[in-house]
């Protein structure tokens, strides 16, 4: 479980505590902590809540919605030019051009129409964000992500479109043990020769790191509960 966020904890404290959790899990798994990217999920949080983490050295941030990211990040990037923006929420194809212009990584590639839209925008702008293919690892109809059975064809389509495939992403079912789902995603990635794994959030960072996560998407442990 995540460390409690006490009212007395500063952003620096919360960031240090999260890094300590990642490092501890990595050491147990005989992994290098530096091989795991902490993506601070800043969705719904205003710039004044994000800036202290930037000042503390955090550089990778995640947003769910293109419109929200566009409202916050251009100004923040004027101050912190080396920060990296990850889009971690579901992406509509008609927002692909704006997403490509804003993001350094897109974690929710999950269908042919989105691949085509991102490829067109990439070709037009010359920007090629890292792309994670989202897998609906729990076969949940209400969630985004491609079905496991559809993944080989989708990967082939993404590679034909010259999208830079950085890894796979998943969100396990809520209120169940996530480890089997993380293990399954890791196996699928190995089967397809894919190194990156975007998995794990505030409640299950340790399990994700122990099973090979390269990117963990942490929100509440860094920012507190969303409004």
Using one digit for the tens of pLDDT, what is the confidence trace for 27-54? 999 999 999 999 999 999 999 999 999 9
For residue 4, is it within any domain? no
For residue 6, is it within any domain? no
pTM of the model: 0.94
CA 126 to chain centre: 22
For residue 58, is it within any domain? yes
For residue 97, is it within any domain? yes
Average pLDDT on 67-84 reads 97
Average predicted confidence (pLDDT) for the chain: 95
Tokens 């550089």 -> residue: 59
**What pLDDT was estimated at residue 57?**
97
Average pLDDT on 79-90 reads 97
For the chain, the first-to-last Cα distance in angstroms comes to: 21
**What pLDDT was estimated at residue 9?**
84
Handedness of CA 156, 158, 164, 168 (dihedral sign): negative
For residue 104, is it within any domain? yes
Is residue 28 within 8 Å of 210, Cβ to Cβ?
A: yes
Question: Is 1's pLDDT higher than 60?
Answer: no
CA distance 191 to 205: 23
Domain holding 74, by residue range, is 11-223
**What pLDDT was estimated at residue 110?**
97
For residue 89, is it within any domain? yes
Q: Look at the chain and count its residues.
A: 227
Report the DSSP pairing between strands 105-109 and 196-198.
Answer: unpaired
Question: Is 227's pLDDT higher than 80?
Answer: no
**What pLDDT was estimated at residue 99?**
98
Cα separations (Å) of 172 from 36, 43, 83, 112, 176?
A: 19, 19, 28, 22, 8
How many domains does one find in the chain? 1
Question: Is 7's pLDDT higher than 70?
Answer: no
pLDDT digits 0-9 by tens, 114-136: 999 999 999 999 999 999 999 99
For residue 3, is it within any domain? no
Higher pLDDT, 2 or 201: 201
CATH number of the domain residue 62 falls in: 3.20.20.10
**What pLDDT was estimated at residue 5?**
52
pLDDT digits 0-9 by tens, 149-197: 999 999 999 999 999 999 999 999 998 999 999 999 999 999 999 999 9
Q: What is the DSSP letter of 109?
A: E
For residue 1, is it within any domain? no
């Amino acid at each position: 479980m995540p460390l409690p966020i006490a009212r007395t904890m500063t952003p620096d404290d919360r960031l240090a505590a999260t890094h300590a959790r990642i490092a501890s899990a990595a050491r147990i798994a005989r992994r290098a902590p530096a091989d795991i990217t902490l993506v601070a999920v800043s969705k719904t949080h205003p710039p004044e809540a994000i800036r202290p983490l930037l000042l503390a050295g955090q550089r990778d941030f995640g947003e769910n919605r293109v419109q929200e990211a566009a409202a916050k990040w251009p100004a923040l990037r004027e101050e912190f030019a080396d920060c990296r923006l990850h889009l971690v929420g579901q992406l509509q194809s008609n927002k692909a051009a704006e997403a490509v212009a804003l993001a350094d990584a897109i974690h929710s590639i999950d269908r042919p129409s989105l691949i085509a839209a991102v490829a067109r925008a990439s070709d037009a702008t010359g920007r090629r964000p890292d792309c994670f293919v989202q897998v609906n690892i729990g076969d949940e109809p209400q969630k985004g992500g491609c079905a496991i059975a559809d993944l080989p064809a989708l990967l082939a389509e993404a590679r034909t479109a010259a999208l830079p495939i950085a890894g796979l992403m998943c969100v396990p079912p809520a209120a169940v043990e996530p480890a089997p789902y993380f293990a399954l995603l890791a196996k699928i990635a190995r089967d397809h020769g894919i190194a990156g794994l975007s998995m794990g959030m505030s409640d299950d960072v340790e399990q994700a790191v122990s099973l090979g996560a390269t990117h963990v998407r942490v929100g509440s442990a860094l920012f507190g509960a969303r409004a």
